[in-house]
Amino acid sequence: MDGCHLWAVKEGPNISPHKTPMVPFTNRRKIEGLGPLKLHGKDLKMLDEVKYLGVTLDSRLNWNQHLQKIIRKTQTTFALVRRTCSRNWGLRPNMVHWLYTRVIRPSILYGALVWWPKVIQKTTKTQLGRIQRMAYLAITGAMKSTPTAAMEVLLNLIPLNLLIMVEVRMALYRLHMLKQPAVLKTETGLLSIGKNVSDPILDMRSDHTIPVFNYSKNVITDKDYWRNKDPVLPKDVLIWFTDGSRTDLGTGSGV
């Protein structure tokens, strides 16, 4: 951890050993020759999982812990929603629909670009289907024996596993536009969704424009030149006044 310590000293941040865990990402059952790692002379804790930017990363990167936390959080939220609505009283169906599609469902989709491979598994599809079925029953107030497919058509809601793949493909397309001319079908790792999903939309062109700064050689950027009270300007010069430009006398506004 000497490199990490030297970087922190150079850049200025203070890294606390008590808040810095270590997670070895490997499929091996026994880890030999690893640790103990020290930072500022103190041993770092070795954990099986860590939460980073709202996504739970386990040592095997199978996303089981992240999915289970999503399910528990969603079930708790629906338990609170049930207390505020019933078949004959409480929140209107359109309000419950809004709570699900605008509050609960986005929290499930968060970070899907990272953990989308978990959605391909059959057990994950079943678990996500149970979550959405809870939403169907809360919105419609239907009987527990009502078929899920019928409520999907009635509410025009896409199954969660398909919606996650849609969101990931949209994010993948945006990334693809930023790193042209990469080919989606040759991507590896998390971006290999292009191989698993054959969608002609991923091959379409975009109106995204990469900004290009084309400065001519006649641009004058020397501060000493502009400090002169009577600068000699070239012919056919364009003078640009900027807002908030700073000089030795202070700051002001421009035109």
Distance CA 191, CA 61 (A): 15
> Considering the domain boundaries, does residue 236 fall inside one?
no
**Claim to verify: residue 198 and residue 97 sit in the same structural domain:** yes
- Where b means 16+ CB within 10 Å and e means fewer, 132-169 reads bbbbbbbbbeeeeeeeeeebbeebebebbbebbbebbb
**107 plus 194 within the same structural domain:** yes
In a domain, 228, yes or no: no
In-domain check, residue 53: no
Q: Verify that 40 and 12 share a domain, yes or no.
A: yes
Q: In this structure, is residue 246 part of a structural domain? A: no
Are 93 and 171 part of one and the same domain? yes
Q: Which domain holds residue 200?
A: 60-213
CA–CA separation, 118 vs 108, rounded Å? 13
Closest Cα to residue 69, out of 53, 43, 51? Answer: 51
Among 109, 129, 127, 115, CA closest to 193: 115
Q: Are residues 111 and 204 in the same domain?
A: yes
The verdict on residue 250 lying in a domain is no
Q: Are residues 96 and 172 in the same domain?
A: yes
Q: What is the per-residue pLDDT across 44-58, written as a single tens digit (0 to 9) for each?
A: 777 788 888 888 888
Would you say residue 248 lies in a domain? no
pLDDT tens readout for residues 121-162: 899 889 898 888 988 888 888 888 888 888 888 888 888 888
pLDDT value for 120: 86
pTM over 0.75: no
Residues 129 and 201 in one domain: yes
Same domain assignment for residues 133 and 106: yes
> Cβ–Cβ contacts within 10 Å for residue 197, how many?
16
Residue 177 lies in a domain: yes
